[in-house]
């Protein structure tokens, strides 16, 4: 086993575990403060990888997330590559489209490419001379007493390193969080919802977007829902949310078309029947989990942020945004307590747990209510249209 001492020039060492969206952004926040930042990521460098595996292709970036990006000078860069969505566009069964604005005139959320956002944040983190990105490092275990971490490396080797603070940004199935589970008075709950999701691509038509681009398109259908967010290459990524048992009922190309004919007929020519028949079976539907826990810290040694602390179901579009906000809240508390980890960490848990739990509850509430609400709006549109 190889051992490396991280401490340089007497600066405190902060290890960020996970270089996903929240980890990469957090590395910038800590680097800006002058800590020696070491980022450890289980995957290879996605900027060099041929295929980037992961969840949803694009995401809705809202005010919360933008504010955090602004703190590290990244807002303009990311916003310039986002597509504004001013309203939801509700698709009725008959194909009629009705917009519901997100807010006042001029307000919008942005559709951003997950992989690009992650890559830009990694590059931003790397521009700080006090930051080192370590890819192909999978955290296996760590000690709350010493801060010693053990990583699995490719080809079966292991490496150990030590840090003053470990920041767990390693997502919904966090390895950092496992250590918390062994401790007394740590509360934890995890809920899988009965729905899964599947992503389908709607290609451009005659070189243009197949639907109006500045909208988040929604097809609400009782227990199903499909949404579509625009991408810069003029495609839309459609996400079909449906109970797993419904996904499993469809096993042939003909059944896919029959299903779309019944529930999303206007989407068939837009996605293309042949594409639908093929792409529906490309990947199995993915599960969605909601994780709540508290506290978010252990002593002055470790803190959880992003999905590692609060994975939420995606119906509120706030998972990443809330994770980005975690970074600002932590940063503000660092100012308040002069970077004294023994005071900052408990305060962070005290302040942040209730807010993140509220986001998780709102997301779950939206999961239950959103389809019913949108159907209701749809009925209202049509009854008004009849008057
Ligand atoms: P992750 O993105 O999961 O990153 C964790 C990182 O840690 C990964 O890079 C992983 O490889 C690494 N890692 C894991 N284990 C280890 C280990 N043992 N050692 C080292 N590294 C490790 N949010 C929004 O705000 N807006 C949206 O519109 C939105 N849409 C969504 C749609 C879908 C279908 C889904 C599923 C989620 C959506 N979300 C959305 C939520 C959003 O994807 C997450 O909240 C966000 O990705 C969390 O970022 P994270 O960095 O905390 O975790």
- CATH number of the structural domain spanning residue 338: 3.50.50.60
Alpha-carbon gap, residue 124 to 135, rounded angstroms: 16
Same domain? 39 vs 169: yes
Residue 362 buriedness (CB in 10 A; 0-12 / 13-18 / 19+) = middle
Q: Does 200 share its domain with 247?
A: yes
CA of 289 to the centre of ligand 1 (A): 12
Q: Which residues of the chain have pLDDT under 50?
A: 1-8, 384-387
Same domain, 301 and 185: yes
198 and 335 both lie in a single domain: no
Predicted confidence at residue 386, as pLDDT, reads: 33
Q: Can you spell out the DSSP letters for 270-288?
A: HH-HHHHHHHTTTSPPEEE
Shared-domain flag, residues 31 and 146: yes
pLDDT of residue 51: 73
E strand or H helix that includes residue 357: helix 341-386
Q: Is residue 92 part of a domain?
A: no
The pLDDT, as a whole number, for residue 317 is: 87
Task: Decide if 59 contacts 117 (C-beta within 8 A).
Answer: yes
Cβ of 21 closer than 6 Å to ligand 1, yes or no, is: yes
Q: Same domain for 177 and 255? A: no
Range of the structural domain that residue 160 is part of: 13-84+109-191+291-372
The answer to the question of residue 93 being in a domain is no
Closest to 26 measured CA to CA, from 145, 125, 96: 125
Last-in-domain residue among 286, 303, 326 = 286
Is 43:141 a contact under the CB 8 Å cutoff? Answer: no
Encoded tokens for 201 = 């691509």
- What local confidence, expressed as pLDDT, does residue 2 receive? 43
Asked, for residue 301, whether it belongs to a domain, the answer is yes
What is the rounded CA–CA span in Å between residue 202 and residue 20?
26
Number of structural domains found in the chain: 2
Angle at 151 between CA 2 and CA 140, to 5 degrees: 140
**Is the domain of 65 the same as that of 23?**
yes
The verdict on residue 39 lying in a domain is yes
Task: Indicate the average pLDDT of the chain.
Answer: 92
Q: Are residues 25 and 172 in the same domain?
A: yes
- Quote the tokens at residue 215: 């909208």
- How far is Cα 171 from Cα 291, in angstroms, rounded to an integer? 10
Amino acid 381: pLDDT: 56
CB 292 within 8 A of CB 354: no
The predicted pLDDT at position 4 comes to 44
For residue 323, report the distance from its CA to the centre of ligand 1, in Å: 9
Q: Ligand 1 pocket: which of 319, 323, 364 to mutate (most atoms <8 Å of CB)?
A: 319
Q: Do 153 and 60 share a domain, yes or no?
A: yes
Q: What is the pLDDT of residue 367?
A: 79
C-alpha 212/C-alpha 330 separation (Å) is 39
Q: Is 60 in the pocket of ligand 1 (CB under 6 A)?
A: yes
Please tell me what DSSP assigns to residue 305. -
Both tokens of 109, joined, read: 């959320």
What per-residue confidence (pLDDT) applies to 385?
37
Chain Cα centroid distance, residue 180:
22
Residues 67 and 185 placed together within one structural domain of the fold: yes
Residues 184 and 199 placed together within one structural domain of the fold? no
In a domain, 2, yes or no: no
| Ligand 1 atom at shortest distance from the alpha carbon of 321 | 25
How far does the centroid of ligand 1 lie from the alpha carbon of residue 308, in Å? 9
Residue 6 included in any domain: no
Per the domain annotation, does 122 fall within a domain? yes
CB 86 less than 6 A from any atom of ligand 1: no
Counting Cα atoms < 13 Å in the Cβ hemisphere of 216 gives 28
Cα–Cα distance for residue pair 164/148, rounded to 1 Å: 9
For residues 290 and 360, the answer to whether their CB atoms sit within 8 Å is yes
Indicate the residue among 286, 316, 334 that finishes a domain.
286
User: Final residue of a domain: which of 254, 286, 318?
Assistant: 286
- Ligand 1 contacts CB of residue 326 (under 6 A): no
Give burial (CB, 10 Å; 0-12/13-18/19+) of 104. Answer: exposed
Give the pLDDT score at 11: 86
Q: Is residue 244 part of a domain?
A: yes
* 3-state class (DSSP) for residue 161: strand
Q: Is the ipTM of this complex over 0.90?
A: yes
Is the pTM above the cut of 0.95?
no
Domain shared by 303 and 363, yes or no: yes
């Amino acid at each position: 086993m190889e051992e490396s001492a991280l401490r340089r020039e007497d600066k405190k060492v902060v290890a960020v575990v996970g270089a996903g969206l929240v980890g990469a952004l957090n590395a910038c926040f800590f680097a800006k403060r002058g800590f020696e930042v070491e980022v450890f990521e289980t995957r290879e460098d996605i900027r060099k990888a041929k295929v980037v595996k992961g969840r949803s292709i694009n995401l809705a970036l809202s005010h919360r997330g933008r504010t955090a990006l602004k703190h590290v000078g990244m807002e303009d860069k990311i916003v310039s590559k986002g597509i504004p969505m001013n309203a939801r566009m509700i698709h009725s069964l008959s194909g009629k489209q009705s917009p519901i604005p997100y807010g006042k005139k001029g307000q919008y959320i942005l559709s951003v490419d997950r992989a690009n956002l992650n890559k830009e944040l990694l590059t931003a983190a790397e521009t700080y001379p006090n930051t080192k990105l370590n890819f192909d490092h999978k955290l296996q275990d760590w000690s709350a007493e010493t801060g010693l971490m053990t990583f699995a490396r490719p080809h079966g080797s292991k490496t150990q390193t030590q840090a003053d603070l470990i920041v767990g940004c390693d997502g919904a199935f966090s390895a950092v969080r496992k250590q918390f589970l062994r401790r007394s008075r740590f509360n934890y709950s995890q809920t899988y919802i009965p729905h899964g999701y599947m992503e389908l691509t709607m290609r451009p038509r005659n070189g243009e977007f197949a639907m109006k681009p500045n909208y988040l398109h929604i097809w609400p259908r009782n227990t199903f829902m499909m949404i579509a967010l625009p991408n810069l290459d003029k495609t839309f990524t459609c996400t079909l949310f449906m109970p797993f048992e419904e996904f499993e009922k469809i096993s042939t190309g003909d059944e896919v078309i029959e299903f779309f004919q019944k529930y999303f007929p206007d989407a068939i020519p837009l996605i293309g029947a042949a594409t639908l028949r093929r792409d529906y079976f490309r990947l199995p539907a993915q599960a969605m989990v909601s994780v709540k826990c508290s506290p978010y810290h252990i002593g002055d040694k470790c803190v959880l942020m992003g999905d590692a602390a609060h994975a939420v179901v995606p119906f509120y579009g706030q998972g990443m945004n809330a994770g980005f906000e975690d970074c600002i809240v932590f940063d503000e508390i660092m100012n308040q307590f002069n970077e004294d980890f023994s005071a900052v960490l408990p305060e962070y848990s005290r302040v942040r747990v209730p807010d993140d739990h509220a986001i998780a509850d709102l997301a779950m509430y939206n999961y239950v209510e959103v389809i019913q609400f949108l159907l209701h709006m749809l009925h209202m549109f049509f009854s008004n249209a009849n008057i």
